Amino acid sequence: MEPIIGIDLGTTNSVVATVVDGVPTVIAGRSGYELLPSVVAYARTGRYLVGELAKRQAVTNAEQTVTASKRLIGRKWSSAQVQQARAKATYRIVEGPHDDVRVELGGRTMALPEIAAMILTELKLDAEAWFGQPVVKSVITVPAHFNDAQRTATLDAGKISGLDVLRIINEPTAAALAYGFGRKVDKKVVVFDLGGGTFDVSLLNIGSGVFDVVATGGDTFLGGDDFDERLIDLLADPFERAEGLVLRADPMARQRLKDAAEKAKIALSDAQESEVNLPFIATTPGGPLHLQRVLRRAEFEEKTRDLVDRCARLCQDVMRDAFRSARDLDEVVLVGGMTRMPAIQAACRRVFDREPSKGVHPQEAVALGAAIQAHALAKEADSGAGVLLLDVTPHSLGVCIAGGLVQVLIPKNTTVPTSASHLFTTIKDNQKAAKIMVMQGESPQAQGNELLGELILDNLPKALRGEVEIDVLFEISSDGIVGVSAKDLKTGQRQSIQVTATSGLTDEEVRQMMEQNADYLLARKTEEQFASVQQDAGKLANELEQLLPKVKSAVEGSQSGEEAVSRAAKLLERTRAAEAARDTAMMLAAKESLDQTLQLLRGIAQKLGRR
Ligand code: ADP
Ligand code: MG
């Protein structure tokens, strides 16, 4: 069977998994870690870095290091969240051509799906190294609360990276799959997923291989980063006041504060206190300044109480939407790194009135669930076997009607795939065209919702007003993505329809980005090939360098011996030249010669030793 993978494309960490002999398994990356930090950087060496290496250089290269990009994907430039993220980011976030968001990295202005594609490419390479063959087929997860634009942007990222994305599934649902897979469970389960950037809570019925989501809720702008931000305030506010300077204006200081805050937050999950020490955090005419402070768990909890309360309220909303109370539930499953915070666990205990289960690995469950779904889809194509996922749409879908109000066509928590139609009639004689605004959200006012796109019905037939009747069909796929089609009811003909996405990429843009990513992938592979040959050749060159002086003095007077030594010295020069040119073919040739020369010289050295 062709390899197939599940990917958890997280705000903080990404994970890739697969199913081996029926067992869901996380694929360790080439760097040896299970979690790939979702960080992309343009290093001073002129190369792009992704993951651990990118994260490690973030402090010294903060302006060229993109973190938490998932918080921006599929959002409009004009949204409050983007402006909030922009004020806090160490890298440059700029306006794109379609009210979308771009970031500046390595002298390029990149769209968010391109950044996500670089992370996906890294995971693809990890999987290929693991399988020892090309990997294309995949399932990618998104927060359950992601809207159509965010899901479409994630699909675009998949396309750009060269993956064939069979399905987009919701993160809490994936975690539930990992929880219930291969076990006999018949339970009502809540999945509480708080990661670095997003919060999701879903209520499911699990039984005989069917995973039926009843209701879901959340906030795509609520996560560990917000907790870190509060700790940064605790550290920086008094310091800035006392010293009369703005610490956070300097990207390097900001990144150091962020790292220290996250470390302290994690430490405070186990300890009551944690000391933060940031020497030389700023320089003033009076000399360097150091920041030192002991943070207490109690003050951290106090400072983040509203964030925890927001999670709790969203849980209550979901129980209300599902017509359930805490008593009806069987199990609460915690997912996401932030659920290790004691105050979060306490909130879960309070809201759900029970001890949360730790039955799944909080940072691996989502990828494992994605792998299970991927495997099931592949098997379905073969034999029809698999698990059944019944997910819901997290937002209501509607159209804007008179008075700026919304008419809901598909209410939230409707099982997907689903569809609904809307009958449109002309309001003027001989009306040629009409515009329909498609909205997603819960506000009765159009303004309070996300504008998904504008549908233009054109080439309408000539007729008196009210006589033209166009049936517009809205569909939501299993991926949670909205599709639209229209039909003239009189003629039964399909009506031409134009959808102008309001913040998505055009097909042409996606095509160009795919090409660029293919170039990047090639460069990346060449680089890795070079690095591995260089490593081998380097070892041989070192050995030769050490052996050479000994052999040299011993062969003095022997013509063939002296020639061998001089050839070896030239070979070392060639190796250095190949290194400088970063030329893989030259390095490979040098490596082979080094191997032979070493054998020859070792032979000479041995003979001399025996004499
Ligand atoms: P995402 O799904 O957003 O990529 P993860 O599930 O990997 O995120 O969780 C990352 C978040 O969890 C980060 O904000 C990180 O600081 C936080 N985190 C990890 N371990 C702990 C811990 N022991 N205590 C508190 N927070 C933690
Ligand atoms: Mg996550």
| 224 Cβ inside 6 Å of ligand 1 | yes
Q: 192 with 247, same domain?
A: no
| 369 Cβ inside 6 Å of ligand 1 | no
In the chain, the percentage of residues whose pLDDT exceeds 90 is 77
**Can you give the CATH number for the domain in which 179 is found?**
3.30.420.40
Residue 223 C-alpha to ligand 1 middle, in angstroms? 8
Q: What is the DSSP letter of 10?
A: -
Q: Helix, strand or coil for residue 463?
A: coil
**Can you give the CATH number for the domain in which 477 is found?**
2.60.34.10
Q: 403 with 518, same domain?
A: no
Q: 132 with 171, same domain?
A: yes
What protein residues have CB closer than 5 angstroms to ion ligand 2? 10, 195
Q: 279 with 356, same domain?
A: no
Count of domains observed in the chain: 4
Residue 587 has pLDDT above 80, yes or no: yes
* Model pLDDT, residue 395: 97
| End position of a domain, from candidates 474, 498, 522 | 498
Residue 224 C-alpha to ligand 1 middle, in angstroms? 6
* Model pLDDT, residue 496: 63
User: Is 41 buried (19+), middle (13-18) or exposed (0-12) by CB count in 10 A?
Assistant: buried
Q: 377 with 399, same domain?
A: no
Q: What is the C-alpha to C-alpha distance for residues 162 and 135, in angstroms, rounded to an integer?
A: 10
- In testing the pocket of ligand 1, which one of 34, 199, 231, 266 has its CB within 8 Å of the most ligand atoms? 266
Residue 384 has pLDDT above 80, yes or no: no
Average pLDDT over residues 321-345: 96
| 338 Cβ inside 6 Å of ligand 1 | yes
C-beta of residue 397 within 8 angstroms of C-beta of residue 416 = no
C-beta of residue 366 within 8 angstroms of C-beta of residue 171 = yes
User: Is 286 buried (19+), middle (13-18) or exposed (0-12) by CB count in 10 A?
Assistant: exposed
Across all residues in the chain, what is the average pLDDT?
93
Q: Which atom of ligand 1 is nearest to the CA of 363?
A: 6
Q: What is the C-alpha to C-alpha distance for residues 260 and 276, in angstroms, rounded to an integer?
A: 7
C-beta of residue 196 within 8 angstroms of C-beta of residue 39 = no
In terms of DSSP H, where are the helices of 451-583?
507-554, 559-581
Residue position matching structure tokens 């291969």: 182
**Is residue 381 very low, low, confident or very high in pLDDT (cuts 50, 70, 90)?**
low
Residue 494 has pLDDT above 80, yes or no: no
Q: Please name which of 370, 266, 342, 311 lies closest in space to residue 14, comparing C-alpha atoms.
A: 370
Residue 69 C-alpha to ligand 2 middle, in angstroms? 13
Residue 178 C-alpha to ligand 2 middle, in angstroms? 14
Q: What is the C-alpha to C-alpha distance for residues 128 and 574, in angstroms, rounded to an integer?
A: 32
Q: pLDDT tens digits, residue range 522-571?
A: 988 888 889 989 999 999 999 999 988 888 888 887 888 888 888 899 99
Q: 242 with 252, same domain?
A: yes
Q: Which amino acid is at 238?
A: P
Q: 374 with 466, same domain?
A: no
* Model pLDDT, residue 48: 94
Q: What is the C-alpha to C-alpha distance for residues 437 and 429, in angstroms, rounded to an integer?
A: 21
| 172 Cβ inside 6 Å of ligand 1 | no
Q: Which long-range contacts (CB under 8 A, 24 or more apart) does 125-132 make?
A: 125/30, 125/521, 125/524, 125/525, 125/528, 126/16, 126/27, 126/28, 126/29, 126/30, 126/36, 127/3, 127/5, 127/16, 127/18, 127/27, 129/30, 130/18, 130/27, 130/28, 131/3, 131/18
Q: Which atom of ligand 1 is nearest to the CA of 194?
A: 6
Q: Nearest ligand, CA of residue 12?
A: 1
Average pLDDT over residues 585-593: 92
Supply the residues annotated as catalytic: 8, 70, 171, 193
Q: pLDDT tens digits, residue range 303-332?
A: 999 999 999 999 999 999 999 999 999 999
| CA triple 473-474-479, angle to 5 deg | 140
Q: Which atom of ligand 1 is nearest to the CA of 262?
A: 16
* Model pLDDT, residue 35: 97
Residue 339 C-alpha to ligand 1 middle, in angstroms? 8
- In testing the pocket of ligand 1, which one of 39, 225, 338, 340 has its CB within 8 Å of the most ligand atoms? 338
Q: What is the C-alpha to C-alpha distance for residues 585 and 528, in angstroms, rounded to an integer?
A: 13
Residue position matching structure tokens 């490596």: 591
Q: pLDDT tens digits, residue range 11-50?
A: 999 999 999 999 999 999 988 999 999 999 999 988 999 9
Q: Which tokens is 104 given?
A: 């500046």
Residue 498 has pLDDT above 70, yes or no: no
Q: 231 with 210, same domain?
A: no
| 265 Cβ inside 6 Å of ligand 1 | yes
Residue 368 C-alpha to ligand 2 middle, in angstroms? 12
Q: 81 with 187, same domain?
A: yes
Q: Which atom of ligand 1 is nearest to the CA of 70?
A: 3
Q: 193 with 82, same domain?
A: yes
Residue 517 has pLDDT above 80, yes or no: yes
In the chain, the percentage of residues whose pLDDT exceeds 70 is 97
C-beta of residue 115 within 8 angstroms of C-beta of residue 38 = no
Q: Please name which of 26, 1, 23, 25 lies closest in space to residue 15, comparing C-alpha atoms.
A: 26
| End position of a domain, from candidates 439, 473, 498 | 498
Q: Nearest ligand, CA of residue 337?
A: 1
Q: Please name which of 167, 82, 74 lies closest in space to residue 505, comparing C-alpha atoms.
A: 74
Average pLDDT over residues 481-508: 79
Q: Write the residue with the smallest CA distance to atom 18 of ligand 1.
A: 337
C-beta of residue 475 within 8 angstroms of C-beta of residue 436 = no
Q: Which atom of ligand 1 is nearest to the CA of 171?
A: 2
| End position of a domain, from candidates 299, 326, 360 | 299
**Can you give the CATH number for the domain in which 248 is found?**
3.90.640.10
**Is residue 610 very low, low, confident or very high in pLDDT (cuts 50, 70, 90)?**
low
Q: Which atom of ligand 1 is nearest to the CA of 38?
A: 4
b/e string for 404-438 if b means 16 or more Cβ within 10 A?
A: eebeebbbbbbebebebebebebeeeebeebebbb
Q: pLDDT tens digits, residue range 58-114?
A: 999 999 999 999 999 999 999 999 999 999 999 999 999 988 999 999 999 999 999
C-beta of residue 367 within 8 angstroms of C-beta of residue 383 = no
Average pLDDT over residues 461-472: 90
* Model pLDDT, residue 242: 94
Q: 411 with 339, same domain?
A: no
**Is residue 454 very low, low, confident or very high in pLDDT (cuts 50, 70, 90)?**
confident
Q: What is the C-alpha to C-alpha distance for residues 113 and 69, in angstroms, rounded to an integer?
A: 9
Range of the domain at 598: 507-610
| 218 Cβ inside 6 Å of ligand 1 | no
| 37 Cβ inside 6 Å of ligand 1 | no
Residue 430 C-alpha to ligand 2 middle, in angstroms? 53
**Is residue 497 very low, low, confident or very high in pLDDT (cuts 50, 70, 90)?**
low
Q: What is the pTM of this model?
A: 0.91
Q: Which is more confidently placed, 189 or 460?
A: 189
* Model pLDDT, residue 382: 64
**Is residue 370 very low, low, confident or very high in pLDDT (cuts 50, 70, 90)?**
very high
C-beta of residue 529 within 8 angstroms of C-beta of residue 584 = yes
Q: 596 with 512, same domain?
A: yes
Residue position matching structure tokens 């002309």: 426
